[in-house]
Amino acid sequence: MPALVEAAREHRIDELLVIPDGPDTHREVWIGEDADQLAVRRTELKTLGEQNSWAARADDALLRSAVMTGAPAISVLPALPDTEDRQDTPVGGLGALLRWR
């Protein structure tokens, strides 16, 4: 989750991948007034200079950030546990294809 939030903050997400009921989708992250002001911990936002912050669901915050940068969000079906395709889906339910490293 920290690497994905950092990628969103730096506008590096080219496509956001979401498994709708993945375990990390309901995880709490922190957002600021602008869509690219997000962090895993509230103190991170204060370090980045954001004075106001609110708790938000990870999927909502990342979707907000993706829309702001023009990145599409793609709903991905969870892979069946017994298939080889399982490695191609986001483990926690959230992932991204990046514009650059």
d(CA 86, CA 94): 14
Give residue 101's identity as a one-letter amino acid code: R
CB 100, CB 9: distance < 8 Å: no
CATH fold of 2-98: 60s Ribosomal Protein L30; Chain: A; (3.30.1330)
Percent of the chain past pLDDT 70, that is, above it, reads 86
Least confident of 27-36, 52-61, 81-90: 81-90
CA atoms within 13 A of residue 94's CA, in its CB half-sphere:
21
**What are the domain boundaries of the chain?**
2-98
- Count of residues for the chain? 101
Predicted TM-score (pTM) above 0.75: yes
What's the average model confidence in pLDDT over 75-85? 66
d(CA 45, CA 40): 9
